[in-house]
Structure 1
């Protein structure tokens, strides 16, 4: 391909984060290209946990159909630093608070949605060059074992290409890093004797072993050795080394065979110093990496995608308020830093030294007494409050709008239902709320205006709700027009009509 092919947004990286973002953008009518170096979806076991806020946001955007169930006020048992007893719960009417689903299955589901919405997905291509221009980004890619180069010119480029992100490096985006202090291994094996290890978390004076059984009788094992980082992080792991490590931590010989997917990992952590550099943005592991404790990595990356998608779509289509795209960095980078900090804190609690026993006993007591609400909200990101965009004094702005039933002229619905269109929602409650409709008239092509009966669960007259479910404005704050300008610009414009059609 010798000439430059034009796209509105190019996404490098076709994992679940990249595919979710592609589905979001293509659903908004944005010409979207995904470049993925792998030729197929990896079957290697990876993340399997989606926490409550990620599930809630994805459901509001129409994802996860058939994967989640609304169980109402459900709770799921979890752990903190390997200590059982943590309960992750969600408000009544929300989906189940912890979704267990293989990463590969999520990736396939997001890819299917992206392709159905019109995104183009190209596999087997590796990006080799990124050059920013004033109004576009030039991207060059090659295919392994195939001559020639592929070139695109994109309005924006998103790097969702993992921890060793080529986009991050080529764009010159620096990072705040935390060096590795521990060594860890993982792999799927068959145990010589089925009773050698029970399923679950095992702490010994030497470290940790986490064992999870498979239906076919194999075990997925993870180890944690706190004596220091790997001497050679990139040296391939073999069965003998994994067996020696597991046996040393357990304090007895544990035989194993039939190894698959053996690898090393550590507590090396990274947060990019900027999620946006001009027309280049980062998401998922390209932007943040942390020790995989608490199942927070996949959720954090997918929250990046649902935060960025609608903002980038509005920007591309010319309907975004000034600086809206910059709020992606302002909202998501602190969230990633919180995850890095809490995983480092959990790892500190997991170190096997006897001097930490009183601290572990304290946490065991906290969890046993059900006093862990703050920890559960932190792990599930349900304590997230976004910074004010408008500067208004509303008590609601920046908070997540939980799913409550609504009664409209068209019949009963709920918050999840009215957000499915993907446009920001102006929710007008009762007769007094209807008075705000005229104030929003100039922005109506980009808004989904919903008139509903007043409800005691929402004690205000009107709310402006973002597509990801967070409240952008409430009637107890400043003027509605200021909020609409901040998010959607100065009002009606030709591009808005196309945006509205794409979102309908």
Structure 2
């Protein structure tokens, strides 16, 4: 167990609190957030309305940036331990137009054909090792922000109860109860079409990895396991239904046959679902002591599986900030940067998926646009721009003044030579702490960072000669892997950057 879990809290847990943070939703977003909070020693309760983990697997892999998130916490090997080895690829697409993530040679590849159930199982194991197990069968029915805490009313297996915490985070999906009860605005556009999704055993369906445009719509299929195919059916000009239950497999098979002429009705559906192209974004990700993450904050057409990936990255951005605030290490205003950074990402995500929907689902009328876009992607600058957008690798957060090329971007897994041997950057972030890389063996850098030693590590190292790393004497990396300060090029002192992102120093500077 990480040493941070054995560290005493700055203040004793208020006897009237059941936890410091309550997370609603035990999907990938909620579990990732719980893990980040526990890594910092925060008392957290995770609630989920389902009595058992879901067997549905909407998400089917990770973007390169999500793989980096898992690598930065040492979680990648846990998939092998589960018997769920990762199939990696540099392939991607934008609205069906092929992309190559290999334009970022320093990045982790994407992962394909990994059912979401494996991701949730891995994250549950990690969170359990950190001392937290979700409480299942607990439905949130009310909440009250009292100013100094949040009271959550719940229908649980043993009847009604009320839990109290300093903060509440809704990670409870596109129909979020937390979002509704807390009064968040969720503007956008309703669905204009309906798509069917099913995992089917025993049909040996021809693969259509990025979809096949057909006169009546789009058909997509991919082999995701031994004898199991995932199919997506989108018939144009059929309005979405207001459903209270999933569609039947008969509906899916009939739609597939109308589109492709193939009969899959003899197959066995493992699960069936429907979704649409509704596009909505919460106007704020934080209202006082209540926050939103994942689909609770943004819903959109699930083009390229970006929803689950964005939710995990929301949690990765929020977790260390919320932990620092509840532990008294940073001011409450640090949480405002969560909205500032991730709301912009969410807005960009909605634009991105709308554009992909037009290209992917727009029918023959969109073919001229697809042709032109296909020509544009042959230009390196366009290809890199689109690949960076859908992979998450080129998200740049506002970090203040400075002109270093890495400022605001994620830190690559740079090979580093230290006195004790060679390592890379990501293992240095596994504890969820900040990191100062002293790349010029500068005692003044180490001295400046020393007052934050309780929450920031300092490593003296040299980049490998062939690392392709932009010239830097020192770099400050946040716990979420983004570069918050770099020299030369910084217009403020390292101590200013440390105070901005990690709060006041624990001890006076020497």
Q: C-alpha distance in 2, partners of 1:154/1:493?
A: 29
Match for residue 377 of structure 1? 388
Q: Secondary structure at the match of 1:86?
A: strand
Query: Match of 1:141, SS?
Result: strand
TM-score, structure 2 as length reference: 0.87
Alignment of 1:284-363 (within 5 A): 284-321=294-331, 323-363=333-373
Q: Deviations over 1:469-503 (max 9, x none)?
A: 11111122111121111112221169xxxxxxxxx
1:116 aligns with 2:129: yes
Show the counterpart of 2:8.
none
Q: Any residues of structure 2 matched to 1:189-268 within 5 Å, and which? A: 189=200, 197-200=206-209, 201-213=211-223, 215-234=225-244, 236-250=246-260, 255-268=265-278
Distance in structure 2 (CA, Å) of the matches to 1:407 and 1:10: 41
User: Is residue 452 from structure 1 mapped to residue 464 from structure 2 by the alignment?
Assistant: no
Q: Distance in 2 between matches of 1:270 and 1:112?
A: 32
Match of 2:506 among 478, 492, 504: 492
In the alignment, is the contact (CA less than 8 A) between 2:73 and 2:427 conserved in 1?
Answer: no
CA RMSD of aligned residues (A): 2.6
Deviation at 1:217, TM superposition (A): 3.2
Shift of 1:218: 4.4
Write out aligned runs for 1:438-477 (5 A). 438-453=447-462, 457-475=469-487, 476-477=489-490
8 Å Cα contact 2:114-2:224 kept in structure 1: no
Select 1:53's aligned residue among 55, 61, 65.
65
Q: Deviations over 1:441-479 (max 9, x none)?
A: 322222101112366635222111111111111122111
Contact preservation (8 Å) 1:384, 1:399: yes
Query: Where does the alignment leave 5 or more consecutive residues of structure 1 unmatched?
Result: 69-73, 495-504
State the SS of the aligned residue for 1:18. Answer: helix
Among candidates 8, 27, 30, match of residue 18 of structure 1: 30
**For 2:133 and 2:180, how far apart are their aligned partners in 1?**
24
Q: Which residue number in structure 2 is paired with residue 416 of structure 1?
A: 426
Q: Which residue of 2 aligns with 1:177?
A: 188
Cα deviation, residue 235, structure 1: 5.3
The superposition leaves residues 97-149 of structure 1 with CA deviations (integer Å, 9 ceiling, x where unpaired) of: 33542211111111111121122421111111111011110012112xx4521
Q: Does the Cα contact within 8 Å between 1:4 and 1:151 map onto a contact in 2?
A: no
Residue of structure 1 in register with 2:495 after alignment: 481
Equivalent residue, structure 1, for 2:166: 155
Per-residue deviation at 1:173? 0.8
Q: Residue 233 of structure 2: SS of its match in structure 1?
A: strand
2:153 & 2:172 partners in 1: Cα distance? 15
Q: Is the 8 A contact 2:219 2:256 kept in 1?
A: yes
Query: Cα deviation per residue 1:314-353 (whole Å; 9 max; x = unaligned)?
Result: 1111111562111111111111111111111111112354
Query: Any gaps of 5 or more consecutive residues in structure 2?
Result: 1-14, 81-87
Q: 1:243 to 1:75 in 2, by over 3 A?
A: closer
Give the deviation of 1:37 after TM superposition: 1.2
Q: Which moved more, 1:418-427 or 1:94-103?
A: 94-103
For 1:166 and 1:255, the matched residues in 2 are separated by 36
Query: Could you tell me how far 1:191 is from its partner in structure 2?
Result: 6.9
Is the 8 Å Cα contact of residues 247 and 273 (structure 2) preserved in structure 1?
yes
Report the 3-state secondary structure (helix = DSSP H, G, I; strand = E; otherwise coil) of the residue aligned with 1:296.
helix
Give deviations 1:279-328, integer Å, cap 9, x for gaps. 11111111111101112111101001111111111111111156211111
Give me the whole-angstrom Cα distance separating, in 1, the residues matched to 2:159 and 2:212. 52
- Secondary structure (helix, strand or coil) at the match of 1:324 reads helix
The range that moved more, 313-322 or 226-235, is 226-235
Conserved 8 A contact 1:91-1:402:
no
Which residue among 71, 75, 80 is the counterpart of 1:63?
A: 75
Residues 32, 120 of structure 1: 8 Å contact kept:
no
Answer yes or no: is the 8 Å Cα contact 2:218–2:233 preserved in 1: yes
Match of 1:107 among 110, 120, 131: 120
Q: 1:417 to 1:231 in 2, by over 3 A?
A: closer
The 3-state SS of whatever aligns with 1:300 is helix
User: Partner residue of 2:20?
Assistant: 8
Helix, strand or coil at the partner of 2:322 = helix
TM-score (norm 1): 0.88
Counterpart contact for 2:201–2:270, Cα < 8 Å: no
Shift of 1:376: 1.1
Q: Between Structure 1 and Structure 2, how many residues are aligned?
A: 481
2:18 is paired with a residue whose SS is strand
Aligned counterpart in structure 2 of residue 76 of structure 1, from 70, 87, 90: 90
Question: What do the CA deviations read for 1:265-285 (whole angstroms, capped 9, x no partner)?
Answer: 110122111111111111111
1:180 deviation in Å?
0.9
- Provide Cα deviations, 1:48-74, integer angstroms capped at 9, x if missing partner: 121011111221122222448xxxxx9
**What is the CA distance between 1:259 and its match in structure 2?**
3.3
Give 1:88's match in structure 2, choosing from 87, 101, 104. Answer: 101
1:167 is aligned to 2:175: no
